[in-house]
Amino acid sequence: MSTAQAFLRYAAPAAWRGMQSQSIGMINAGPIARGGKSAVATRAFFTSPAVATGAAGTGPEVAAAAPAASNNAGNWIRGVLAAGLVGGGLFSYALFTSKLPQKGSLTPPPFVTSSKPGDYEAVKTAIRSILDVEGYDDGSYGPVLVRLAWHASGSYDAKTNTGGSNGATMRFSPECEFGANAGLQVARELLEPLKKQFPWITYADLWTLAGATAVEEMGGPPVPWRAGREDKPPVPAPCPPDGRLPDAAQGAAHIRDIFYRMGFNDQEIVALSGAHALGRCHTTRSGFDGPWGNSPTTMSNMYFQDLVNRHWQKRTWKGPLQYEDKESKALMMLPTDMALLWDKAFKPWVKLYAKDEERFFKDFASAFSKLMELGVAFPLEAKYI
Protein backbone atom coordinates (compact mmCIF):
# COMPACT_ATOMS: atom_id res chain seq x y z
CA MET A 1 0.00 0.00 0.00
CA SER A 2 1.08 3.61 -0.38
CA THR A 3 2.68 5.77 2.27
CA ALA A 4 -0.45 7.91 2.37
CA GLN A 5 -2.71 4.93 2.99
CA ALA A 6 -0.48 3.61 5.73
CA PHE A 7 -0.33 7.02 7.33
CA LEU A 8 -4.11 7.39 7.36
CA ARG A 9 -4.66 4.07 9.02
CA TYR A 10 -2.13 4.59 11.82
CA ALA A 11 -2.17 8.35 12.32
CA ALA A 12 -5.83 9.02 11.53
CA PRO A 13 -7.86 5.86 12.20
CA ALA A 14 -11.14 7.76 12.19
CA ALA A 15 -10.40 9.06 8.71
CA TRP A 16 -9.46 5.56 7.61
CA ARG A 17 -12.76 4.14 8.80
CA GLY A 18 -14.58 7.00 7.09
CA MET A 19 -12.95 6.19 3.79
CA GLN A 20 -13.97 2.57 4.12
CA SER A 21 -17.58 3.60 4.79
CA GLN A 22 -17.52 5.67 1.57
CA SER A 23 -16.39 2.57 -0.36
CA ILE A 24 -13.28 4.23 -1.58
CA GLY A 25 -11.57 0.90 -1.53
CA MET A 26 -8.24 1.51 0.11
CA ILE A 27 -6.47 -1.73 0.96
CA ASN A 28 -5.44 -2.75 4.48
CA ALA A 29 -2.34 -0.94 5.65
CA GLY A 30 0.77 -2.80 6.76
CA PRO A 31 3.64 -1.86 9.06
CA ILE A 32 5.64 1.20 8.17
CA ALA A 33 9.41 1.69 8.30
CA ARG A 34 10.30 -1.59 9.96
CA GLY A 35 13.64 -1.89 11.70
CA GLY A 36 16.41 0.52 12.59
CA LYS A 37 16.13 4.04 13.88
CA SER A 38 13.48 4.97 11.35
CA ALA A 39 11.12 2.48 12.95
CA VAL A 40 11.65 4.10 16.33
CA ALA A 41 11.04 7.55 14.97
CA THR A 42 7.95 6.46 13.08
CA ARG A 43 6.47 4.73 16.12
CA ALA A 44 7.14 7.83 18.19
CA PHE A 45 5.43 9.89 15.55
CA PHE A 46 2.36 7.68 15.36
CA THR A 47 1.88 7.57 19.12
CA SER A 48 1.51 11.34 19.33
CA PRO A 49 -2.24 12.09 19.47
CA ALA A 50 -1.74 15.82 19.10
CA VAL A 51 -0.61 15.86 15.44
CA ALA A 52 -2.59 14.97 12.32
CA THR A 53 -0.30 14.50 9.35
CA GLY A 54 -0.22 13.34 5.77
CA ALA A 55 2.27 12.49 3.03
CA ALA A 56 3.17 13.54 -0.48
CA GLY A 57 0.80 11.92 -2.98
CA THR A 58 -2.22 11.79 -0.66
CA GLY A 59 -4.18 14.38 -2.66
CA PRO A 60 -4.18 12.70 -6.13
CA GLU A 61 -4.96 9.25 -4.69
CA VAL A 62 -7.95 10.39 -2.67
CA ALA A 63 -9.30 12.66 -5.40
CA ALA A 64 -9.17 9.90 -7.97
CA ALA A 65 -11.00 7.50 -5.72
CA ALA A 66 -14.05 9.62 -4.90
CA PRO A 67 -15.74 11.09 -7.97
CA ALA A 68 -19.16 9.90 -6.78
CA ALA A 69 -18.90 10.99 -3.18
CA SER A 70 -21.45 13.32 -1.62
CA ASN A 71 -20.77 16.93 -0.74
CA ASN A 72 -20.04 15.82 2.83
CA ALA A 73 -17.52 13.34 1.53
CA GLY A 74 -16.00 16.08 -0.57
CA ASN A 75 -15.64 18.29 2.47
CA TRP A 76 -14.08 15.40 4.34
CA ILE A 77 -11.61 14.80 1.52
CA ARG A 78 -10.65 18.45 1.42
CA GLY A 79 -10.00 18.25 5.16
CA VAL A 80 -7.75 15.28 4.64
CA LEU A 81 -5.91 17.14 1.87
CA ALA A 82 -5.37 20.14 4.12
CA ALA A 83 -4.13 17.95 6.94
CA GLY A 84 -1.77 16.23 4.54
CA LEU A 85 -0.31 19.49 3.31
CA VAL A 86 0.16 20.85 6.83
CA GLY A 87 1.56 17.69 8.35
CA GLY A 88 3.46 16.21 5.43
CA GLY A 89 6.65 18.02 6.30
CA LEU A 90 6.65 16.73 9.86
CA PHE A 91 5.88 13.18 8.73
CA SER A 92 8.71 13.28 6.21
CA TYR A 93 11.01 14.73 8.84
CA ALA A 94 10.26 11.88 11.24
CA LEU A 95 10.44 9.21 8.54
CA PHE A 96 13.68 10.21 6.90
CA THR A 97 15.73 11.77 9.70
CA SER A 98 14.74 9.40 12.52
CA LYS A 99 14.50 12.43 14.81
CA LEU A 100 11.59 14.40 16.18
CA PRO A 101 11.40 18.04 17.18
CA GLN A 102 11.81 17.98 20.96
CA LYS A 103 8.80 20.08 21.76
CA GLY A 104 5.48 19.62 23.50
CA SER A 105 3.81 16.23 23.35
CA LEU A 106 6.40 14.90 20.91
CA THR A 107 9.15 14.95 23.52
CA PRO A 108 9.95 11.35 24.44
CA PRO A 109 10.00 10.20 28.09
CA PRO A 110 13.37 10.43 29.85
CA PHE A 111 13.63 6.66 30.16
CA VAL A 112 12.34 3.50 28.54
CA THR A 113 9.44 1.89 30.33
CA SER A 114 10.16 -1.63 31.48
CA SER A 115 8.27 -3.92 33.80
CA LYS A 116 10.43 -7.00 33.27
CA PRO A 117 10.92 -8.48 36.74
CA GLY A 118 14.52 -8.35 37.86
CA ASP A 119 15.68 -5.67 35.42
CA TYR A 120 17.38 -3.57 38.08
CA GLU A 121 19.63 -1.86 35.58
CA ALA A 122 16.51 -0.35 34.03
CA VAL A 123 15.46 0.87 37.47
CA LYS A 124 18.89 2.44 38.03
CA THR A 125 18.64 4.17 34.66
CA ALA A 126 15.28 5.59 35.65
CA ILE A 127 16.67 6.78 38.99
CA ARG A 128 19.57 8.53 37.27
CA SER A 129 17.15 10.35 35.00
CA ILE A 130 15.33 12.08 37.87
CA LEU A 131 18.29 13.18 40.00
CA ASP A 132 19.16 16.55 38.50
CA VAL A 133 16.52 19.26 38.66
CA GLU A 134 16.57 23.02 38.81
CA GLY A 135 14.81 24.69 41.70
CA TYR A 136 15.30 22.02 44.39
CA ASP A 137 18.01 22.74 46.95
CA ASP A 138 21.33 22.67 45.09
CA GLY A 139 19.97 21.24 41.85
CA SER A 140 19.83 17.56 42.74
CA TYR A 141 17.53 15.11 44.51
CA GLY A 142 20.54 12.89 45.12
CA PRO A 143 21.21 13.94 48.74
CA VAL A 144 17.61 13.46 49.86
CA LEU A 145 17.52 10.00 48.24
CA VAL A 146 20.66 9.04 50.18
CA ARG A 147 18.98 10.33 53.35
CA LEU A 148 15.84 8.29 52.62
CA ALA A 149 17.86 5.09 52.25
CA TRP A 150 19.85 5.95 55.41
CA HIS A 151 16.83 6.71 57.60
CA ALA A 152 14.79 3.79 56.30
CA SER A 153 17.68 1.52 57.31
CA GLY A 154 18.98 3.25 60.44
CA SER A 155 16.05 2.22 62.63
CA TYR A 156 17.45 -1.30 63.00
CA ASP A 157 17.94 -2.88 66.41
CA ALA A 158 20.23 -5.91 66.47
CA LYS A 159 18.96 -7.32 69.79
CA THR A 160 15.33 -7.52 68.70
CA ASN A 161 15.99 -7.79 64.95
CA THR A 162 13.41 -5.09 64.30
CA GLY A 163 13.43 -1.98 62.14
CA GLY A 164 15.77 -1.48 59.22
CA SER A 165 15.15 -1.23 55.50
CA ASN A 166 13.18 -4.46 55.30
CA GLY A 167 9.50 -3.62 55.22
CA ALA A 168 9.71 0.00 54.01
CA THR A 169 7.72 0.92 57.09
CA MET A 170 8.23 4.66 56.61
CA ARG A 171 5.22 4.41 54.29
CA PHE A 172 3.06 4.33 57.42
CA SER A 173 2.24 6.48 60.39
CA PRO A 174 3.74 7.20 62.85
CA GLU A 175 7.20 6.55 61.32
CA CYS A 176 6.64 8.87 58.38
CA GLU A 177 5.86 11.61 60.90
CA PHE A 178 8.91 11.17 63.14
CA GLY A 179 10.84 14.41 63.50
CA ALA A 180 14.02 12.76 62.23
CA ASN A 181 12.23 11.89 58.98
CA ALA A 182 10.91 15.39 58.28
CA GLY A 183 11.21 16.27 54.62
CA LEU A 184 11.62 12.71 53.39
CA GLN A 185 8.16 12.75 51.85
CA VAL A 186 9.91 14.62 49.03
CA ALA A 187 12.04 11.56 48.27
CA ARG A 188 9.19 9.07 48.72
CA GLU A 189 6.92 11.01 46.39
CA LEU A 190 9.72 11.42 43.86
CA LEU A 191 10.11 7.65 43.62
CA GLU A 192 6.40 6.88 43.43
CA PRO A 193 6.21 7.13 39.61
CA LEU A 194 9.12 4.68 39.38
CA LYS A 195 7.25 2.25 41.61
CA LYS A 196 4.37 2.43 39.14
CA GLN A 197 6.76 2.07 36.21
CA PHE A 198 8.39 -0.98 37.78
CA PRO A 199 5.59 -2.50 39.89
CA TRP A 200 7.56 -5.68 40.54
CA ILE A 201 10.19 -3.95 42.72
CA THR A 202 9.40 -3.53 46.41
CA TYR A 203 9.48 -0.11 48.04
CA ALA A 204 12.22 -1.38 50.35
CA ASP A 205 14.42 -2.35 47.41
CA LEU A 206 13.56 0.80 45.45
CA TRP A 207 14.43 3.18 48.29
CA THR A 208 17.77 1.54 49.01
CA LEU A 209 18.69 1.16 45.34
CA ALA A 210 17.92 4.86 44.85
CA GLY A 211 20.30 5.75 47.68
CA ALA A 212 23.09 3.55 46.35
CA THR A 213 22.62 4.86 42.80
CA ALA A 214 22.60 8.48 43.97
CA VAL A 215 25.90 8.04 45.82
CA GLU A 216 27.61 6.75 42.71
CA GLU A 217 26.02 9.33 40.40
CA MET A 218 27.27 12.14 42.65
CA GLY A 219 30.85 10.97 42.29
CA GLY A 220 31.00 8.47 45.12
CA PRO A 221 31.96 4.81 45.07
CA PRO A 222 29.77 2.00 43.72
CA VAL A 223 27.81 0.68 46.70
CA PRO A 224 27.22 -3.09 46.73
CA TRP A 225 23.48 -3.68 46.51
CA ARG A 226 21.25 -6.71 46.06
CA ALA A 227 17.51 -7.26 45.93
CA GLY A 228 15.43 -9.24 48.35
CA ARG A 229 13.78 -6.83 50.78
CA GLU A 230 10.06 -7.19 51.40
CA ASP A 231 7.31 -4.65 51.97
CA LYS A 232 5.33 -5.11 55.17
CA PRO A 233 1.54 -4.66 55.19
CA PRO A 234 0.07 -1.73 57.16
CA VAL A 235 -1.42 -4.03 59.82
CA PRO A 236 -0.39 -5.01 62.34
CA ALA A 237 1.49 -1.75 62.96
CA PRO A 238 5.02 -2.54 61.71
CA CYS A 239 6.80 0.73 62.56
CA PRO A 240 9.81 0.78 64.89
CA PRO A 241 9.67 3.13 67.88
CA ASP A 242 10.79 6.72 67.57
CA GLY A 243 14.25 7.68 68.81
CA ARG A 244 16.37 5.11 66.96
CA LEU A 245 17.94 7.62 64.57
CA PRO A 246 20.79 9.96 65.56
CA ASP A 247 19.97 13.23 67.32
CA ALA A 248 22.28 15.81 65.77
CA ALA A 249 22.27 17.91 68.96
CA GLN A 250 24.01 15.16 70.97
CA GLY A 251 27.60 14.08 71.48
CA ALA A 252 29.86 11.05 71.18
CA ALA A 253 28.09 8.89 73.77
CA HIS A 254 24.79 9.23 71.95
CA ILE A 255 26.40 8.47 68.59
CA ARG A 256 27.82 5.22 69.95
CA ASP A 257 24.50 4.25 71.53
CA ILE A 258 22.76 4.63 68.17
CA PHE A 259 25.33 2.89 66.01
CA TYR A 260 26.41 0.18 68.43
CA ARG A 261 22.74 -0.82 68.69
CA MET A 262 22.88 -1.60 64.96
CA GLY A 263 26.20 -3.43 65.17
CA PHE A 264 28.67 -0.81 63.89
CA ASN A 265 32.12 0.02 65.27
CA ASP A 266 33.88 3.39 65.58
CA GLN A 267 35.52 3.20 62.17
CA GLU A 268 32.20 2.47 60.46
CA ILE A 269 30.51 5.28 62.37
CA VAL A 270 33.01 7.82 61.06
CA ALA A 271 32.83 6.43 57.52
CA LEU A 272 29.03 6.67 57.45
CA SER A 273 29.20 10.23 58.80
CA GLY A 274 31.07 11.14 55.62
CA ALA A 275 27.70 11.21 53.87
CA HIS A 276 27.44 14.71 55.30
CA ALA A 277 29.52 15.77 52.32
CA LEU A 278 26.12 15.74 50.61
CA GLY A 279 23.13 18.01 51.05
CA ARG A 280 22.27 20.63 53.59
CA CYS A 281 20.12 21.21 56.69
CA HIS A 282 16.78 23.01 56.59
CA THR A 283 15.22 24.97 59.42
CA THR A 284 11.81 23.66 58.36
CA ARG A 285 12.95 20.06 58.84
CA SER A 286 15.70 19.55 61.41
CA GLY A 287 15.80 23.12 62.70
CA PHE A 288 19.44 23.42 61.64
CA ASP A 289 20.51 25.47 58.67
CA GLY A 290 23.08 25.37 55.89
CA PRO A 291 25.39 23.04 53.96
CA TRP A 292 28.34 21.12 55.38
CA GLY A 293 30.47 21.83 52.32
CA ASN A 294 30.82 23.97 49.22
CA SER A 295 29.89 21.12 46.89
CA PRO A 296 26.74 19.60 48.41
CA THR A 297 25.95 17.48 45.37
CA THR A 298 29.40 15.90 45.07
CA MET A 299 30.51 12.91 47.13
CA SER A 300 34.10 13.37 48.29
CA ASN A 301 36.25 13.46 51.42
CA MET A 302 35.87 17.25 51.68
CA TYR A 303 33.64 16.83 54.74
CA PHE A 304 36.62 15.43 56.65
CA GLN A 305 39.04 17.96 55.18
CA ASP A 306 36.83 20.83 56.24
CA LEU A 307 36.28 19.32 59.67
CA VAL A 308 40.05 19.07 60.24
CA ASN A 309 41.38 22.13 58.44
CA ARG A 310 38.81 24.85 59.04
CA HIS A 311 38.31 26.71 62.29
CA TRP A 312 34.88 26.20 63.81
CA GLN A 313 32.99 28.45 66.17
CA LYS A 314 29.50 28.49 67.64
CA ARG A 315 27.05 30.25 65.39
CA THR A 316 25.19 33.17 66.94
CA TRP A 317 21.59 32.88 65.84
CA LYS A 318 18.10 32.08 67.13
CA GLY A 319 18.24 28.41 66.11
CA PRO A 320 19.70 25.36 67.88
CA LEU A 321 23.40 25.05 68.63
CA GLN A 322 25.46 24.55 65.50
CA TYR A 323 28.90 25.62 64.34
CA GLU A 324 30.12 27.80 61.49
CA ASP A 325 33.53 28.12 59.91
CA LYS A 326 35.39 31.29 60.86
CA GLU A 327 36.78 31.70 57.36
CA SER A 328 33.55 32.15 55.38
CA LYS A 329 30.73 31.65 57.89
CA ALA A 330 28.93 29.93 55.02
CA LEU A 331 29.47 26.32 56.10
CA MET A 332 28.16 24.58 59.18
CA MET A 333 28.77 21.58 61.40
CA LEU A 334 26.41 19.93 63.87
CA PRO A 335 27.30 18.92 67.44
CA THR A 336 27.52 15.28 66.29
CA ASP A 337 30.00 16.32 63.60
CA MET A 338 32.21 18.14 66.06
CA ALA A 339 32.07 15.11 68.38
CA LEU A 340 33.91 13.10 65.72
CA LEU A 341 36.75 15.63 65.83
CA TRP A 342 36.86 15.88 69.62
CA ASP A 343 36.56 12.20 70.52
CA LYS A 344 39.92 10.43 70.87
CA ALA A 345 38.72 7.21 69.22
CA PHE A 346 36.84 8.87 66.36
CA LYS A 347 39.47 11.52 65.52
CA PRO A 348 42.12 9.22 63.98
CA TRP A 349 39.58 7.99 61.45
CA VAL A 350 38.54 11.55 60.65
CA LYS A 351 42.16 12.50 59.96
CA LEU A 352 42.76 9.36 57.90
CA TYR A 353 39.76 9.98 55.66
CA ALA A 354 40.73 13.65 55.28
CA LYS A 355 44.03 12.49 53.77
CA ASP A 356 42.87 9.42 51.86
CA GLU A 357 39.71 9.70 49.79
CA GLU A 358 40.20 6.27 48.24
CA ARG A 359 40.22 4.65 51.68
CA PHE A 360 37.16 6.67 52.69
CA PHE A 361 35.26 5.57 49.58
CA LYS A 362 36.14 1.94 50.22
CA ASP A 363 35.04 2.05 53.86
CA PHE A 364 31.92 4.11 53.15
CA ALA A 365 30.72 1.75 50.42
CA SER A 366 31.15 -1.22 52.74
CA ALA A 367 29.43 0.45 55.70
CA PHE A 368 26.54 1.90 53.69
CA SER A 369 25.88 -1.45 52.04
CA LYS A 370 25.89 -3.09 55.48
CA LEU A 371 23.49 -0.46 56.82
CA MET A 372 20.97 -1.08 54.06
CA GLU A 373 21.10 -4.87 54.62
CA LEU A 374 20.61 -4.96 58.38
CA GLY A 375 17.83 -7.36 59.33
CA VAL A 376 17.20 -8.58 55.77
CA ALA A 377 16.97 -12.31 55.12
CA PHE A 378 18.08 -12.35 51.51
CA PRO A 379 17.20 -15.31 49.30
CA LEU A 380 20.11 -17.58 48.44
CA GLU A 381 19.98 -16.56 44.79
CA ALA A 382 20.31 -12.82 45.56
CA LYS A 383 23.35 -11.41 43.80
CA TYR A 384 24.99 -8.02 43.98
CA ILE A 385 24.53 -5.82 40.94
Catalytic residues: 151, 292
Provide the CB-side half-sphere exposure for 262 (13 A, CA): 31
Alpha-carbon distance of 278 to 368, in angstroms, equals: 14
The total number of residues shown for the chain amounts to: 385
Question: Using omega within 30 degrees of 0 as the cis cutoff, is the peptide bond preceding 234 cis?
Answer: no
Q: Tell me the residue type at 270.
A: V
HEC secondary structure over the chain: CCHHHHHHHHHCHHHHHHHHHCCCCCCCCCCCCCCHHHHHHHHHHHCCCCCCCCCCCHHHHHHHHCCCCCHHHHHHHHHHHHHHHHHHHHHHHHHHHCCCCCCHHHCCCCCCCCCCCCCHHHHHHHHHHCCECCCCCCCECHHHHHHHHHHHHCCCECCCCECCCCECHHHCCCHHHCHHHCCCHHHHHHHHHHHHHCCCCCHHHHHHHHHHHHHHHCCCCCCCCCCCCCECCCCCCCCCCCCCCCCCCCCHHHHHHHHHHHCCCHHHHHHHHHHHHCCEECCCCCCCCEECCCCCCCCCCHHHHHHHHCCEEECCCCCCCCEEECCCCCCEECHHHHHHHHCCCCHHHHHHHHHCHHHHHHHHHHHHHHHHHCCCCCCCCCCCC
174 CB burial (10 A radius; 0-12, 13-18, 19+): exposed
In whole angstroms, how far apart are CA 97 and each of 35, 36, 40, 42? 14, 12, 11, 10
Provide the CB-side half-sphere exposure for 250 (13 A, CA): 11
